Amino acid sequence: MDERPRHIPPQHLSPGQFLGLLAGAIMLIVVGICLLPHSRFVRFNNLTEPAVIKAGWIYERIHHDQTPIDIMFIGTSRSVFGVDSAGVESAYRQATRQNLHVVNFAMQHLGRDLHYLLAREALLNRTIKLLVLEITEDEPRDLHPAFGPLADVSDILLAPLIINVSYFANLGRLPLRQMQLFLRTTLPGVYGTTLKFTPAKY
């Protein structure tokens, strides 16, 4: 009886198995990138376009400026240029002889998704007496271009699909956004990132 060990030929993956493993590996890498931690301060201060750079100030006003927020305006460019916070405070003071602290958190461009983010950020962290939300007779489907850069990962993943014309675009940009924010947070000297609130620049 021949007891010599039999030679077992190596098993090769089929093209389908290889592609399946490759897709799984890529998916794990993408998920890992999307879970990379970063500073929310860096995220809100990462926008530099003139129309959205205000997001950094809004975050700092909510989290680092302890001045009360009694009335908060949120809306589009109509509210940005049409609401004078100091004027509202002055008119209220003249009418009631009491002080009121008013902020205008409106940002240019249409987009209820961003209004939701800003309102939630303020309401979860500050005591707001009155929220004034700009409305229009016909609500557009346009979403705000700053939602993708500012939203939490869960906000992007769980955003509604039916009316969200930007869902897949925001989802596709998410891994790159997470990687950039992670690097800016962990290597601030390389990217010139400010990690902490600086009162002199506020």
Give a yes or no: residue 192 inside a domain: yes
In degrees, rounded to 5, the angle at the alpha carbon of residue 44 between the alpha carbons of residues 68 and 194 is: 100
Give a yes or no: residue 185 inside a domain: yes
Give a yes or no: residue 38 inside a domain: no
By the 10 Å C-beta count (0-12 exposed, 13-18 middle, 19+ buried), 162 is classed as exposed
Can you tell me which residue has the tokens 């992670």?
182
How many domains would you assign to the chain? 1
pLDDT score of 1: 54
Quick: pLDDT tens for 114-128: 999 999 999 999 999
Q: Say if strands 130-133 and 102-104 run parallel, antiparallel, or are unpaired.
A: unpaired
Residue 50 belongs to domain spanning: 43-201
Give a yes or no: residue 33 inside a domain: no
Q: How far apart are CA 169 and CA 97, in angstroms?
A: 50
Quick: pLDDT tens for 69-105: 999 999 999 999 999 999 999 999 999 999 999 999 9
